[in-house]
Amino acid sequence: MLKKGYLVSFKNGLYTTKPFLLKQSDKTSYLEYMANIIRQPSYLSLEYVLAKTNLIPEGIYSFTSITLKTPRCYQNKLASFIYKNIKKPLFTGYVRVKTNDFQVYIASKPKALFDFLYLKRNLSFDIEYELKQGLRINWGEVSVKDIVEFKKYVKLAKSLKMKKILDMIRKIKNVDR
């Protein structure tokens, strides 16, 4: 059935039918849902949510997620699904939203920003430059409420790097502690 095109594979052992796919009026909602199903537990975050909430200008064509399991990447005819792992105390900050007929777990905007910066390698060389220019973050889309939520995750992380980043974000946004 795969060779004849009736089945479409997401990964070994996980398939959908072509007629079901063609029936979907909003394929993005379905693919967001499948991003949660392919690797469980997981929630959409990182670049995908940052682009969706206009925090970064780039178009993102992969569904990026956070999981408690080992990192993985699955590519198929429909999309690319990237999973990065995080420690259990930080596996929070997401909500379940209904998109069309599907329930999707997705990070809040501040949590997606936190996940992105927390997992970003080599950021500590010049944090100020990266935050102001290098990462092309649209700071106009970040509110004081977002910074308060971001701070909650920094406390959970107990990370010096993330404390420095929080201080720099406050400086960029001209927000007091």
In the chain, domain spans = 7-173
Residues with Cβ within 8 Å of 134's Cβ and at least 6 positions away in sequence, in order, are 126
Q: How confident is the model at residue 175 (pLDDT cuts 50, 70, 90)?
A: confident
**pLDDT tens-digit readout, 112-152:** 999 999 999 887 678 889 999 999 999 999 999 999 999 99
User: 68 pLDDT exceeds 70?
Assistant: yes
User: 162 pLDDT exceeds 90?
Assistant: yes
Mean pLDDT of 21-30: 94
171's enclosing H/E stretch is helix 160-173
Q: In the block, which residue shows the tokens 């909602």?
A: 29
Cβ burial, residue 169 (10 Å; 0-12/13-18/19+): buried
Q: What is the pLDDT of residue 177?
A: 64
29's enclosing H/E stretch is helix 27-38
Give me 168's structure tokens.
């720099």
